[in-house]
Amino acid sequence: MAAVIPADPAPFAFTPARSALVVIDMQRDFLEPGGFGESLGNDVSLLASAIAPCQAVLAAARAAGMLVIHTREGHRPDLSDAPPAKVERGPPGMRIGDPGPMGRILIRGEPGHDIITALAPIAGEPVIDKPGKGAFYATELEPMLRHRGIEALFVAGVTTEVCVHTTVREANDRGFRCLVIADACASYFPQFHATALAMIAAQGGIFGWVSDSTRIAAALN
Ligand code: C5J
């Protein structure tokens, strides 16, 4: 059954059974003090605004029986999948792989790599571990979506202009229709958040559509 969500630049029509909610990188490493985000000099409290809207769309998507997928950015403990150009970022001693208060920074299996408790995946929800910004790069996301006949993605998470935007661009080039949930995304730079959302909906929706958690929850109800 088709449904419609008010969105920019135009209403977003979708079929819940052919749609997936993708929650990007809502990890302790980005949202809590002592992780990767803070090691790069960011105020991690700026990402907290996305938590409640993510909870709202997760509840609505689960109730509607939609596929829910979570992603985590991080690297193998031996750093064999981490490009030197990425590892070299940040102050020495606080880089990817270095020890921190939540374990080794941005490393799979460490406490900081976990999704925050408030948004923990439930049984049956795939978690995609990704080494890059985009959720399609070097992951099994695309076959996972194709095998289930998914054609539309609802995208939430952090940060808006980095991993959310890269994922939406990758999805757009692969033919998926993307609805970005504005209040369920956040950035360390509020002006980048606003501009990144504007870039998605500009030019007739060149990368996709933008709506919010309230309108999406109402449509899925
Ligand atoms: C960053 C992300 N900002 N998940 N990662 O490095 O946006």
What residue numbers bound the domain in which 66 lies?
A: 18-75+113-220
Residue 5 lies in a domain: no
Whole-number Å distance, alpha carbon 206 to ligand 1 midpoint, is 22
The CATH number of the domain holding residue 156 is 3.40.50.850
Atom 5 in ligand 1: residue holding the nearest Cα:
163
CB 78 within 8 A of CB 11: no
Residue 95 lies in a domain: no
Residue 4 lies in a domain: no
Predicted confidence (pLDDT) per residue in 137-165, tens digit: 999 999 999 999 999 999 999 999 999 99
Angle between helices 51-63 and 213-220 (to 10 degrees): 10
| Residues contacting ligand 1 via CB (< 6 Å) | 25, 30, 73, 158-159, 162-163
- The owner of tokens 């795939």 is 126
Residue 82 lies in a domain: no
Whole-number Å distance, alpha carbon 164 to ligand 1 midpoint, is 8
Whole-number Å distance, alpha carbon 27 to ligand 1 midpoint, is 10
The number of the ligand 1 atom at minimal distance from the alpha carbon of 162 is: 7
Going by pLDDT thresholds of 50, 70 and 90, the confidence category of residue 1 is low
Whole-number Å distance, alpha carbon 160 to ligand 1 midpoint, is 8
Residue 6 lies in a domain: no
Does residue 100 sit in helix, strand or coil?
A: strand
CB 119 within 8 A of CB 69: no
Measured CA to CA, the distance from residue 1 to residue 133 in angstroms comes to 33
What is the total count of domains within the chain? Answer: 1
Predicted confidence (pLDDT) per residue in 82-99, tens digit: 999 999 999 999 999 999
Atom 4 in ligand 1: residue holding the nearest Cα:
163
DSSP at 150: -
Residue 209 lies in a domain: yes
Straight-line distance from the first to the last Cα atom of the chain, in angstroms, rounded to the nearest whole number: 13
Residue 61 lies in a domain: yes
Residue 158 lies in a domain: yes
The number of the ligand 1 atom at minimal distance from the alpha carbon of 163 is: 7
Predicted confidence (pLDDT) per residue in 179-221, tens digit: 999 999 999 999 999 999 999 999 999 999 999 999 999 999 8
Active-site amino acid positions: 25, 130, 163
The number of the ligand 1 atom at minimal distance from the alpha carbon of 40 is: 6
pTM of the model: 0.98
- Residue 41: pLDDT above 80? yes
CB 211 within 8 A of CB 177: no
